[in-house]
Homo-oligomer: A and B are copies of this chain.
Amino acid sequence: MAQFENVSVAKKANVYFDGKCVSHALTLADGTSKSVGVILPATLTFTTGAPEIMELIEGECKVTLAGATEPVTYRGGESFEVPGDSSFQIEVLDTVHYVCHFG
């Protein structure tokens, strides 16, 4: 499915790291919150409040979760989970288009 149907979308984006990450917040019909966004090639560290699942629509990145010693590579079509109150470092090799699902 290339798009979400029947959602609310914020007109204003969230811009992180000087624009290296831009996302728009969505609310599904059942009240679930998600975001759609892009991360440009860079190495960034994100922190989480709620647990989240990052679903890669396109792109390639190496992700190192807090406490992990080795990065894991993810590409379009793959996902990774991040615990709540945690962080992850992401090295974007090819611009990442993602959907973030909040737990």
Contact = CB atoms under 8 A, between A and B. Distances in A.
* Main DSSP-derived SS at the A contact region: strand
Interface centre among A6, A10, A11 (most CB of B within 10 A): A11
A52 to B, nearest CB: 16
Contact of A19 (B10, B11, B24, B95): B95
Contacts of A7: 6-9
Contact of A4 (B9, B19, B38, B99): B9
Given A19-B38, A19-B40, A22-B38, A2 B6 contact: no
- How many identical chains are in the complex? 2
Contacts of A1: 11
B22 A57 contact: no
Given A36-B24, A38-B22, A57 B15 contact: no
Given A4-B8, A40-B19, A97 B13 contact: yes
B13 A3 contact: no
B11 A57 contact: yes
